Amino acid sequence: MRIDAAILTISDKGSKGEREDVSGATARRILEGSGFRIQLYCIVPDEVEEIKKKLVEWSDSLCMPLIVTTGGTGVSDRDVTPEATGAVLEKELPGFGEAMRASGLRLTPYAILSRGKAGIRKRSLIINLPGNPKAVEENLLVVLPILGHAIAKISGDREDCAHLREKV
């Protein structure tokens, strides 16, 4: 079964056409290669209200099962993606960010500066990824194995999960 997904790149320069969106393209390549069907893609500037508006539209009106964002997770004054995401989440899933940062720290000390969040709004799983294409790939590969299960549960699957631990 193919799962629908959306990619939202947050970039001031990208939204003005001043920079190619390599991060969004990286996310698309990995997700499509793993069986996801990218239905929506957009670039918005690093503005809280614009990010929130798109996340709400894609989760509430368009019911996207998976929404990944790229960019805006660092520590500069324009990095506001986690704040925008946190403002629209109904349930936060801190394990995603923790796992991605822990894995990233094995590769670079700069991973500790990533502030990406993940969580649920309506029946959508929203995950913040960094803006660096290499970090997008590294982070997606960490969470990819559980995305199908997480999305199924968010969508209402009531199957008992106790047996899953034994399969890992």
Q: What is the mean pLDDT of residues 90-112?
A: 97
CATH number of the structural domain 3-167: 3.40.980.10
Contacts of 136 (CB under 8 A, 6+ apart): 23, 26, 27, 30, 70, 129, 130
State the Cα–Cα distance between residues 44 and 42, nearest whole angstrom.
7
Full-model pTM: 0.94
Q: What is the mean pLDDT of the chain?
A: 94
Residue 91: C-alpha distances to residues 11, 50, 126 (Å): 25, 21, 10
Closest CA to 41 of 18, 88, 12, 8: 8
Surface-to-core class of residue 122, CB atoms within 10 Å of its CB (0-12 exposed, 13-18 middle, 19+ buried): middle
Domain residue limits, the chain: 3-167
> What is the percentage of the chain residues whose pLDDT exceeds 90?
91
Q: What is the pLDDT of residues 55-77, one digit of tens each?
A: 999 999 999 999 999 999 999 99
Cβ neighbours around 86 below 10 Å, total:
14
Q: What is the pLDDT of residues 103-149, one digit of tens each?
A: 999 999 999 999 999 999 999 999 999 999 999 999 999 999 999 99
